[in-house]
Every structure is written in structure tokens, then in C-alpha cells.
Structure 1
């Protein structure tokens, strides 16, 4: 692979890898978008109560977190492109196994293995985006997350379209083949864990990017593994042990990241069910709740770098307070159109929270060198995944023992906590 890239024009090298990584972000989001349209159908087919459904969905998170712990060992023994490509293929293959489930236990088992594939893919693609941004010398992390939002939007839209004109079997098979094939193909254009050839580096790369080529790529690819922890400890650059302020700030940022992703995951898992229960919409129409949310998230993230050039990061994060107000209005509304609009505007309130919090995590670790920066981002990313796939299923208990509206009241609290968290972080991290 290195030999292939060395034959490309220098100015295209990092762009080729960026486009490949964006394709993988898009595919990952596409699967999550399709999944949003499948949740109401599986609930009805299997007759699962909201509380039990939440526990079943939790198996998705468990699978992802277990796979993340194995990432270091897998990459040590196999190439990056093989692990990343096969993890995506495996997750998409298991998506097709949903066609074979007949009860909640079988669903939990299938979701566990989907979580293994998608969780490992999530970790590797986020590590890749960091390394590629360093190589480019530009701010492009928001665009990666924008592609993920585009994927979720298109996934939910395509899923609803197929459900309207065809069957759920067609939706699952088409989505799995499309996303799995794109992930596997794109994985061959990403960074290898071995040191990179100097001639392949962008001419605009600074000395920091040159250092990153030789050290950070391998470090980024072992995030979350026990081997990575020993590496950072041996080099004396562990973020979590060299200073209390670093530790406290990193934990706070990670928790805020978990809450931000929990808001997004809650809209993914429960918006359709809420619209179906309160407004008696069809399966395809109920998907409009998350689709509208994902559309606004996409617009906000694609313009995120521009917004951050005008306003400090903490100011943009404090827009989460709007999520409290907007969701509250949507819950008391009697109009389905207005409720869907409120779901959409919630995306505007938190669309740039994830990219900013990733940047803050890197800022906390950068005083410990590039290893510390990469490690802190990877550590926070693990909690982000737990927030996206772990917290929303637990909210199913709220829906079962109270009301579906209670789920979104909890989401409002999450937005409020993100707002409060910005006042607890040291002002030195609030750069423009």
C-alpha cells in the first residue's frame, strides 16, 4: 500500500486518505440511519416492551466496548486495512442476520455482534481522522463528523423510501451490501500502522506532522488496548497520571462527550417510536423524526469549522441550552409537524458538540506530546461510543415505567448538563 501511495502526486496523498476515511464515516453513519428505521419494526414484530427493548439494545454497546479492548491486539497481529475492512464487513454481515431473529434473545445476540464490528470500526476511523488531519495541516475533523451525519440522514431516508415501496428484507440486504462493500474498498486507501515514507507526506505538513507520521499513526491504532496503556506509561506521557487538572478536565470533557452522543443516540433510537406512539404514524413516516434531526446536524457540522472561526468553543457548546428549550416546546406541542421541527432544531443546538469536544480532548493532552494527545482523544472516544450506543437503550426503562415523553425529558437534562459543563472547564481550553 505504501508503495502504491508513493506513486501518487504528493498533493493528492493525504486527500486520497481523507476521502477514503470520509467514505467510511459515511458508511458507518448510513448503517446507524438504517437501524433507526428498523427499531419500530423489530419492536412490533417481536412484541418487545420498551424496557426490554432498551436492555436488548444495550447488547450493541457491550459488543462495541469489548471489541475496542481487542483493537490493539488485532492490529498488532494483522494489518490496519485488514482489521478495519473486515470489521465493517462483519458488522454489515451481521446486520443481515436480523432477518433470522424470532425473539428478543436472538435479537440481543445479533446486536452484540453488530456492535463488535461497528464499535471496532468506530474506534479505528476516529483515530484515522485525527492522523489525517495532522497530515493535512488543516481543520477537517468537523467534516468527517459531517459525513457521518450525512450517512445517518441518507440511511434513514433510503430506509424509509425502501420500506414505503418494498420490504424490510430488501432494505436490510441493500444497506448491508452497499455499506460493507464501500467500507472494505475504502479501507485499502488508509494509513498503515507501520512508519510512513517521507515522500508520501503533504508538502504543507509542519514538523509536528512529520513527527506524527513516525509515531502517532501506530499509537492511534492501539487506542483502548492494554498494550497502548503500557506504551504511554513506559514513555512517561500518560495523560491520566501526570497531572490532576489534566485528569479532571479530561474526565469532564469525556462525560460531556458521552452526553452529547447520548442526545444523538436517543433521537436515533426513540424519535420514531415517540412519533408512532403519540401521532400514530406509519413506519416510514415515523422515520422523519430522526431524518430531520440528522439533516440539521449535517448542515451544522459541515459549517462547523466556519462557525468556530467566529466564536470561541465554549460559546458554541453553550448552544446546548437551546436543546432544552426546543425539546420542551416539542413535547407539549399537539402538532406532529411542529414536533418533527423541534427534533430537527435540537440538532442545531448540539451539532458541533462532538467535534469541539474531540478538539478539547486533544488540547488537554497536547502538553504531553503527540502521544498524550492521541491517547486522550481515544480515551474520550470510548466514552463517546458508550454514550451513543449505551445510554439511549437504558432510557427504554423510562419509556416503559413512565412515558415515551419521559425519555426526551431526560435528553433535555443531558443538554442542560453539557451547558453547565462548559463553566466547569478551565478557561485556558477555550481557544478560538
Structure 2
């Protein structure tokens, strides 16, 4: 009996895009949209609370502290109740934070709101990455890169619509609209989130900081990947404008070129990893990131630097997803704990390293910094063999 072509095609699509994959991709999109929408809110938040630049800097530190405190707690929660319960709880708690940021009337309430915003986005981040690992296991194929691509897409949507909506409908109305849409989106995917339980082979005694070096080595891979990524985000435009003579409009393309190639390659990254394996994909990606960063650091003009950042985006795009998949699949660790170690180490690089890089650049130059950062990527290359744990499709 021959299966009709349209029926066979639908079966392939449903197996490649099961409801659980659509659901976790939607959670990444939701989280990214909120993070993108935060960027155009920052000036209004600062003016409403009469914050100086240094006070705003301290507020952003509160965001980072919240993330670093609640991320490990989310990992412990996942180990006890599984990823599906953890991601549902974290998302429900996270969604109202945009309203809290918009309603905060004082510096202290603003600090609490931004602490919760940073902490709960971090907790949701851990939980949705852990759930994506479970979906990878159930599908026996890579999906992590495309999940991160949906996060990038959400951040783009949130950032590009946020300013317009704040101007046209108001600050509180913008936050209310986001909250309602997020709740509707969560309700739509609620029953499709992959249901799992703590793995029976993992005892509660293992819910502690890992003593084995492996999660920490993979954490170093994530950290040394996210420091260059955060540096391009925070300092790429300033480098092109101040040191390469780019116009204000052109300097914005520093991160634009990087993020565009990153988003495109993240949608393609799962196919590449399934075809060539995580180790080879990570190694080629790291070499491309090194080449791109060196080109940007030694660029004689803004256009060459922009090309370097674009190549770097191609390379870095799939490095963090591979590290997260590897950490989430490490055998012998409580579910979520190894992943939380890697995620906390990685995000600490993007949260705190750029300020140190700004200090170093004041005494040297951004060109010098960008040309030295590839040393960190060389360490990732040396540790790349540990990415083999990301190849879940080969497991039985």
C-alpha cells in the first residue's frame, strides 16, 4: 500500500516539528521578546526614577545578580520536579515582571523589580534550555540552535516594536499588551510542553555543585564564547565610530551584521550538527569566530570590521547551543544541575565581562581588545572534544 505524498509529507513534518518542539520554541520566542522589549524601556525607566548613569549601572548590576542567584536555584528545582513543571512555574512568575518594571515608583521598588526581572528571566532560561534538551532526546536530533534562533527573533521583535509602542500607546499599555500576549502564548503551548520527570537513575544526593571537572570545562567553553559575543554587543558600535571613523548610522551595523548572520546560522545549525556531529561543528564554528574577530580587530576601516563581525556571527551562532546541549546531556548528573553550572558561567561572561573590557580599552584600544579576544576562543577549540555529549541522536 502506497502512502499518498501529502500524507507522507505531513508525517515527516509532524515528526520533525512535534508539538513539544513548537512549544519550547515558543517559550524561547516569548523570553527573547521580553528581553528585546526591555532595551527601549531603559531610558523611560531611568528618567521615571531620576537615575544618574552610575545609578542606572547599579540597577543593571541588580539584573545580573538576580540572574546569578536564581539560575542555580532553577537547576536544583529541575532536578527535583523535572523540566516541564519548572519551565511552567518560571514562565508564569516571569511574565508579570514587565508590568512591575513599568509600575515601580521609587529606586528601591525599581531595584526589586529589576532583580526579579533578571532572576526570573534567568530561571526561565535554565528551565527552557533543559526542556529543549529533553525534546532533543525524545526526537533524537538537535533542536537547540533553532531554539536560540527563536530567542534572537523574539529579541528583534521586542526591540524593534518596543519604542514605537511606548510612544504610541504608552509605557504601561505597552507592558500590559506584552503581558496579555505572553499569557495567551503560554496558554496556547501549555499542554504541548514536553512532560518529563526527574530521571530515576539520578538520586537526590547528586543535587549539589558537581565535583567532576566536566561541567565546569563545558562552562568555560560557554563563558569564553559569550565574552566575545557580549563585547561585540556592548562595544562594537563604539569601536567603529570612535576608532574607525564610522558614522552613527553605520556604526549600528557592527552588532547588526553580527546578529543577522548569527540568527540565520542558528536556524541552519541543527541540520549542520546532525550532519557533521557536534565536535566538528564546534571546531569549524570556533575557527570562523577566531577569523572574524581577528579581521574586526585589525580592520583598517569600518566596512572591513563589519565583515569581520558578520563572519564572527556565523561562528559564534552555534557554539553556545552546542555547549548547552552537551551540559544538559552529561551522564551521571542530576537533571538540570550541570546545565545550570554551564549557563551561569556563560551568562556571567556576557553580564560582567564587558565592563572590564571597557576599562581595558580605555588604556589600550578596542581594536587591541578585539584582536586579543580570540585567545579565549582558542581555549574553546582546545576543549571542543567535550562537545561529543551534545550528539544525543547517536544515543540509545
Same fold (TM over 0.5): yes
CA deviation after TM superposition for structure 1 residue 347, in Å: 0.8
Cα–Cα, structure 1 residues 260 and 177, in superposed 2: closer, same or farther, change >3 Å?
farther
Give secondary structure in 2 for the equivalent of 1:397: helix
Please tell me whether the aligned partners of residues 327 and 412 of structure 1 are also in contact (alpha carbons under 8 angstroms): yes
- 2-side partners of 1:58 and 1:266: how far apart? 17
Q: For residue 4 of structure 1, what is the aligned residue in structure 2?
A: none
- 2-side partners of 1:186 and 1:419: how far apart? 39
Give secondary structure in 2 for the equivalent of 1:253: helix
Aligned pairs for 1:349-360 within 5 A: 349-360=315-326
Given candidates 326, 338, 353, the residue that maps to 2:292 is: 326
Cα–Cα, structure 1 residues 426 and 92, in superposed 2: closer, same or farther, change >3 Å?
closer
- 1-side partners of 2:309 and 2:177: how far apart? 28
Residue 61 of structure 2 is aligned to residue 58 of structure 1? yes
Cα–Cα, structure 1 residues 157 and 263, in superposed 2: closer, same or farther, change >3 Å?
farther
Please tell me whether the aligned partners of residues 87 and 120 of structure 1 are also in contact (alpha carbons under 8 angstroms): no
CA deviation after TM superposition for structure 1 residue 252, in Å: 0.9
Q: Deviations over 1:354-391 (max 9, x none)?
A: 2221232244x22x3xx646432233223223233333
Q: For residue 185 of structure 2, what is the aligned residue in structure 1?
A: 186
Aligned pairs for 1:58-77 within 5 A: 58-71=61-74
Residue 346 of structure 2 is aligned to residue 384 of structure 1? yes
Q: For residue 83 of structure 1, what is the aligned residue in structure 2?
A: 89
Q: Deviations over 1:114-151 (max 9, x none)?
A: 31231122122212222333344443222211211222
Cα–Cα, structure 1 residues 175 and 277, in superposed 2: closer, same or farther, change >3 Å?
farther
Q: For residue 344 of structure 1, what is the aligned residue in structure 2?
A: 310
Give the TM-score normalised by the residue count of structure 1.
0.68
Aligned pairs for 1:33-432 within 5 A: 33-34=36-37, 48=53, 57-71=60-74, 80=86, 83-96=89-102, 111-158=114-161, 162=163, 176-177=175-176, 179-188=178-187, 189-190=189-190, 213-216=196-199, 231-233=204-206, 240-241=210-211, 247-278=212-243, 279=245, 281-282=247-248, 286-318=251-283, 319-363=285-329, 365-366=330-331, 368=332, 372=334, 374-409=336-371, 411-422=373-384, 425=385
Give the TM-score normalised by the residue count of structure 2.
0.73
Cα–Cα, structure 1 residues 303 and 426, in superposed 2: closer, same or farther, change >3 Å?
closer
Deviates more, 1:343-352 or 1:379-388: 379-388
The number of residue pairs the alignment matches comes to 371
Q: Which runs of 5+ in 2 are unaligned?
A: 1-13
